[in-house]
Each structure stands twice: as C-alpha cells, then as structure tokens.
Amino acid sequence: MLRWTITFVIIALIAGILGFSGIAGAAAGFAKILFFIFLVLFVISLIRGGTKRI
C-alpha cells in the first residue's frame, strides 16, 4: 500500500506543477483530488504499519 501512496503523491506533484504554472488549468483540480487520496492512503498505511508491529 505504501507503493500506491508514493505513486499518488508523485502524480499529484506533477499535476500540481502543471496546473499551477498555467500549462493545464484542469490539472490543479486533479492535483487536489490526488493529494487528498494520498493523505488518506498515508494515514491508512501508518495505522496498518503501527498495528503490525504490536
């Protein structure tokens, strides 16, 4: 699952750079969505990783 979170954050950063620089206006909205997906997956990864070590 950590691999997916890294993939989403890289895609979100690329979309954010493209969207906020004016190259693609729709990419900014896409970046926001991907950023929130990344946050949710990151929190889930932290919780699952923390519970496996106990």
**pLDDT digit of tens for each residue in the chain (54 aa)?**
678 777 877 877 777 776 666 666 666 677 788 888 888 888 888 888 767 665
Task: Specify the pLDDT at position 19.
Answer: 63
Nearest 5°: the CA angle 43, 45, 50 is 95
This prediction has a pTM of 0.48
Q: What is the pLDDT of residue 41?
A: 84
Task: Tell me the backbone φ, ψ of residue 25, rounded to 5 degrees.
Answer: -65, -35
User: Which pLDDT value is given to residue 43?
Assistant: 87
CA distances from 50 to 37, 43, 44, 45, 46 (A): 20, 11, 10, 8, 6
pLDDT (0 to 100) of residue 44: 87
